[in-house]
Structure 1
Amino acid sequence: MTARTRSARTTPAPRRVLGCARSSLLAGGLAALLAGCGGGALPPAPAAESAAPAPVGQADRVDLTGLPAASTFGDIDSAGTDPAPDAATDGVVLRVERDVAVHGTPGGPAFAKLPAMQLGNPTWVPVIARHADWAQVLLPSRPNSSSGWIRVGPANPVTQARTPYRVDVDVDAKRLVVREGDREIGAWTVGVGSPDSPTPRGRTYLMAAIEETVTDFSPIILPLGTHSETFNSYGGGPGTVALHGWPDPAVFGEEASDGCVRVPPDALRLLSTLPLGTLVLLQ
């Protein structure tokens, strides 16, 4: 189906980014995530576990000049494809502290650069494979399920952490489950994309958190590292699919959105406390 622009408000262009540093959860432990950043009494931020120290390898001295940005606004056909789009991970996530080169294979040519920020939020991406001092990560750019390899070393400073959380969305059953390890800590009936604009499937992640101050359908928007395969834009934005609330509970259990996942208020409160980079399985 040919992608097209959607002018409706399913997922508007980002307005004001939440003031609290969501990366502090992963880099420093117990800092507040959203509590106090929007006037709402949200649950306290969970702690992420420290991952093993990054192995130090030979410096990656790639010239980033001229490389396209692997951002939610990007379209990089040369990116690799996620080799296991239905699989869970071990929860390791990487904070990209400055723009870094993304390679097609460990040691291979760079095809893009991963920016240190996405939609005004620090970039955290899930690790889906390791090879020596290389990490394969999911990318937020089009096409969906894009991936690439980042060298972990002194020339590519990254912060590693491990989140125990995972979000599972059964699109057909219209059910969202939040898991902490093997334990289910929340489950809800949700709204998903219509047959004409379905919710994309595959492995993605929580990319950003945005406080919505212009429209009132959701106090917080949680963009994912995936896009509509029907629309190339939502309200002027890049067509980024998100988890968000909706004022009319009649949409929960229905196929009525333009691809985003609409969640009840208590689900949104819990989802808003999860670390950036947390894996989301859309199945």
Structure 2
Amino acid sequence: MAWLRGTRLAVLSGVLVVAAAAGSAAAAKKDGPGLFAVRQVPAAAPTAEPVPVAAPAPKTLPVMDYWDSPRGFPRDPDPMSTRAVTEGLRPRHRLAVYDTPGGKPRAFLGRSISGMPVTVPIVERRQGWAGVLLPSVNRRVGWVPPGGWETRRLGDQLFVDLSERRLTWLRDGREHGSWEVAVGSRRTPTPQGRTYVMGRTITSGSVYGGLDALVLGAVPDDRDALAASLRDGHTAIHGWRDRSAFGRSISNGCVRMPLKAQQALLDGIPEGSVVHVVE
């Protein structure tokens, strides 16, 4: 990745500067020859915005699962963002997810999906509501009202650079590992944008080295480009025994990892961690 070359970490610090307009209530008062004292004016108390009320969710709403894409949710407003996402949302019970704060409920999100505990990354907060990346659909955000969930700290990020065929792992902003990998082919590309680790699942076949795969929230952008047996699957990060694949764009959309690297990810990456797929 071009942004990782040279320095490993760039930190930008922001400074907020507040200036008083001439003639305002905070104007300077002359205190002597060439001397001025600033008259302090108490800041107006901020007006708290009311929390949008969550409309009752019909019991007939679909429940988000592994196989079907949830419908009616808005696009991720910043899908190519590479900023760190540090909070995940863990449901305490089944939650209704809305298309906007105070908007229309579109689906339920349960505590687990196909046996994987649910932790979805919080990418935005607005008026007490949490905007989260959704499972089984690409580059979509849903909104969850206050209550019925808890937050979990997220300290890890995975960056998949499609042009360099490289996966880089950051932990708390510092590089924790970087490996040459295989990514999707031109016909079956790895979906771009930010997604997240849903959990892990077993694999079948010696080529995977006997290691579990990390299942991502992303699904194929073009299901019809895949064999029928793969169309309902998810993008994953998994081990690959044949090292000749690394550095190439040849997979069905998954990211193929060296076996030792895959084991390191399995040992260290929790569910909810954001994966940034960039080019």
- TM norm. shorter chain > 0.5: yes
Sort the TM-score into its range (normalised by shorter chain): 0.7 to 0.9
Aligned-partner SS, 2:264: helix
What are the ranges of 5 or more consecutive residues in structure 1 without an aligned counterpart?
1-56
> For structure 2, which runs of at least 5 residues remain unmatched after alignment?
1-50
| SS state at 2:235 partner | strand
Aligned counterpart, 2:212: 220
In structure 2, give the amino acid aligned to 1:204. T
Question: Per-residue CA shift, 1:89-120, capped at 9, x if unaligned?
Answer: 43100112322111111111101111221221
Look up the match of 2:90: 95
Q: Deviations over 1:226-250 (max 9, x none)?
A: 0112336773672210000111011
* C-alpha deviation, 1:258, in angstroms: 0.4
Task: Identify if the C-alpha distance between structure 1 residues 242 and 64 changes in structure 2 by more than 3 Å, giving closer, same or farther.
Answer: farther
CA distance in 1: counterparts of 2:93 and 2:260, whole angstroms:
34
Q: 2:254 aligns with which of 235, 260, 267?
A: 260
* 2:108 maps to 1:113: yes
Shift of 1:82: 0.6
Aligned residue runs from structure 1 range 65-76, under 5 A: 65-76=59-70
Q: Which whole-Å deviations, capped at 9, do the CAs of 1:177-226 have from their partners, x for residues lacking one?
A: 000122101000000011111111000000011122x3233211111010
Identity %, equivalent residues:
33
Using the alignment, how far apart are the partners of 1:203 and 1:165 within structure 2? 13
State the alpha-carbon separation in 1 of the partners of residues 106 and 135 from structure 2: 14
One-letter amino acid of the structure 1 residue matched with residue 144 of structure 2: I
Distance 1:146 1:268 in 2: 27
The equivalent of 1:158 in structure 2 is 149
Deviation string, structure 1 residues 43-68 (Cα, Å, up to 9, x no partner): xxxxxxxxxxxxxx798573341112
Structure with bigger gyration radius: 2
Alignment of 1:1-283 (within 5 A): 60=54, 62-87=56-81, 88-142=83-137, 144-153=138-147, 157-212=148-203, 214-218=204-208, 219-231=211-223, 235=229, 238-272=232-266, 273-283=268-278
Match of 1:171, as an amino acid?
L
